[in-house]
Structure 1
Amino acid sequence: MTYQDQLNPWVIHQLLPNLNRRIIARFRRRTEAEAYLKVVQQMRSTAQFLIAFDAPIANSAAGAPSAKVTSATTAATVSR
């Protein structure tokens, strides 16, 4: 995970067929992600989106590289 990604942990994913996801945007605050999600849903009413918190996991061993959580879902799938 890059430093820029760590600064913006809230992610909007577009849900694609075959359980794939596409990152639409990243935000520092959840409220910003929710506001942007409303706009995106109006523009793409048939697509499904998901807001997730994407953060690194700190390892207990000193000096070990940190692992990445692919996405911890924080909200139910939002579609209209």
Structure 2
Amino acid sequence: MTYRERLNHWAVIRLLPNCQRVVVDRFRSRSDAEGHAQAMRRLVTDGEFIVVFDPVGSDVEAGDRNS
């Protein structure tokens, strides 16, 4: 994970059936993430989107966190 990717702590998540989720995008500020989530809610009316704080990144393996 690059330094630039580590700066993006706010993520917009789309919730799917069966407790699955997809990271739509990551943002540096919460207000940017909220704005994007609001736009996604208007465009995809049957989708459920949430904003979460993710300091490490959900796509990082446990072994990579120490590096």
Considering fraction of residues, name the structure with more helix: 2
Q: SS of 1:50's equivalent? A: strand
Superposition deviation, residue 50 in structure 1? 1.2
Report what 2:60 is aligned to.
Answer: none
Match of 1:39, SS state, is helix
For the aligned residues, what is the CA RMSD?
Answer: 1.7
Establish whether residue 22 from structure 1 lines up as the match of residue 19 from structure 2: no
Instruction: Report the count of equivalent residues.
Output: 58
**TM-score calculated relative to the size of structure 1:** 0.65
Give the letter aligned to residue 51 of structure 2.
I
Deviation at 1:17, TM superposition (A): 1.0
Q: Tell me the residue number matched to 1:51.
A: 51
1:37 and 1:13 mapped to 2: Cα distance?
Answer: 8
Match of 2:59 in 1: none
* 1:31 to 2:31 alignment: yes
Name the amino acid aligned to 2:52. A
Residue equivalent to 2:66? 65
Per the alignment, residue 72 of structure 1 pairs with: none
For structure 1, the residue ranges without an aligned partner over 5 or more in a row are: 57-63, 67-80
Q: Distance in 2 between matches of 1:16 and 1:32?
A: 22
Counterpart secondary structure, 1:13: strand
